[in-house]
Amino acid sequence: MAAELAAPAEDGRPPAPSRTTARTARTSAKGEQTRARLIAAARTLLAGEGFARFSTRNVAALCGISHGMCHYHFQDRTDLIVAVVEDIGPEWIGPMEAAVDRPGSFTERAERVIALLTQPEGPDLSRLHSALHWFALNDERVRAAVDGEYRRWRECFVRLFQVLADEHAGAFDPVPPGTALAAAADGLAALQSLDSRVDPEATVRILVAGLAEAAVRRP
Q: What pLDDT score does 187 carry?
A: 79
The vertex-47 CA angle with 41 and 53, nearest 5°, equals 80
Predicted confidence (pLDDT) at residue 3 exceeds the cutoff of 50: no
pLDDT in tens, 136-183: 999 999 999 999 999 999 999 999 999 999 999 999 999 999 999 999
The helix (run of H) or strand (run of E) holding residue 167 is: helix 140-167
Q: How far is CA 34 from the centre of its chain?
A: 21
Predicted confidence (pLDDT) at residue 207 exceeds the cutoff of 50: yes
Report the range of poorest mean pLDDT among 52-61, 124-133, 196-205: 196-205
Q: What pLDDT score does 122 carry?
A: 77
| Integer CA distances (angstroms), 46 to 9, 134, 144, 193, in order | 53, 10, 18, 18
What's 53's DSSP letter?
G
What's 51's DSSP letter?
G
pLDDT band at 29 (very low <50, low <70, confident <90, very high): confident
Predicted confidence (pLDDT) at residue 85 exceeds the cutoff of 90: yes
pLDDT in tens, 97-149: 999 999 999 999 999 999 999 887 777 888 898 899 999 999 999 999 999 99
Q: What pLDDT score does 119 carry?
A: 84
pTM for this entry: 0.79
Do residues 132 and 142 lie in contact, with contact meaning Cβ atoms separated by under 8 Å? yes
Taking the C-alpha atoms of residue 116 and residue 126, their distance in angstroms, rounded to an integer, is 15
